[in-house]
């Protein structure tokens, strides 16, 4: 544990999905903070693709992980993709990073996507310096759904308690059905 999680829900889910033959499995972390625990678990593992779109570690916690040159280790080389973004990134500026992540996940051949969703990038979050609006969540979810990979959403974070429920509902509304 080096962050906000005691149990890594995304990693547990990915391993369980693999045990059920639901792979290949990719994990996409779109919370504000880097998914350092998930990266650490799968860093040398070629059977799980991990991508994190997060705040730049030069300015935001966890500082020691999430640099673009962290690409995996040994047999896992190339199965980690880090896309750090500057403080104040809004929904429009976020989209190219998400497109890059989704292209990499699709090219890797994922059969299941575990999505670490956190609401911390919302502009009202007291612990983060992002500028995403509620309306952005519908667009981002639609982009994820459009790749056509079965997706399981794991709720990760968000500290603007007054906005959290509406933001999550907005995000989920971007998925069909």
Burial of 90 (0-12, 13-18, 19+ CB in 10 A): middle
Mean pLDDT of 37-51: 97
| pTM of the entire predicted model | 0.93
CA distance 106 to 11: 19
Q: Are 108 and 26 in contact (CB under 8 A)?
A: yes
Q: Looking at the predicted structure, is the pLDDT value of residue 2 above 60?
A: no
**Neighbour count for residue 3 (Cβ, 10 Å):** 17
CA distance 89 to 45: 31
Q: Which value, to the nearest 10 degrees, does the dihedral of the CA atoms of residues 83, 84, 85, 90 take?
A: 50
**pLDDT tens by residue, 120-143:** 676 667 667 777 778 899 999 999
């Amino acid at each position: 544990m080096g962050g906000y999680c005691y149990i890594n829900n995304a990693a547990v889910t990915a391993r369980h999905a693999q045990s059920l033959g639901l792979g290949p499995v990719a994990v996409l972390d779109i919370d504000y903070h880097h998914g350092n625990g998930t990266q650490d678990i799968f860093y040398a593992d070629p059977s799980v693709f991990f991508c994190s779109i997060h705040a730049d570690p030069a300015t935001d916690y966890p500082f020691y992980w999430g640099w673009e040159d962290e690409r995996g280790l040994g047999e896992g080389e190339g199965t980690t993709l880090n896309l750090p973004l500057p403080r104040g990134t809004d929904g429009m500026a976020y989209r190219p990073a998400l497109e890059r992540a989704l292209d990499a996940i699709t090219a890797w051949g994922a059969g299941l996507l575990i999505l670490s969703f956190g609401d911390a990038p919302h502009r009202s979050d007291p612990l983060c310096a992002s500028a995403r609006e509620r309306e952005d969540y519908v667009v981002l979810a639609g982009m994820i759904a459009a790749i056509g990979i079965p997706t399981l959403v794991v709720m990760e974070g968000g500290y603007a308690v007054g906005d959290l429920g509406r933001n999550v509902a907005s995000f989920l509304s971007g998925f069909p059905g």
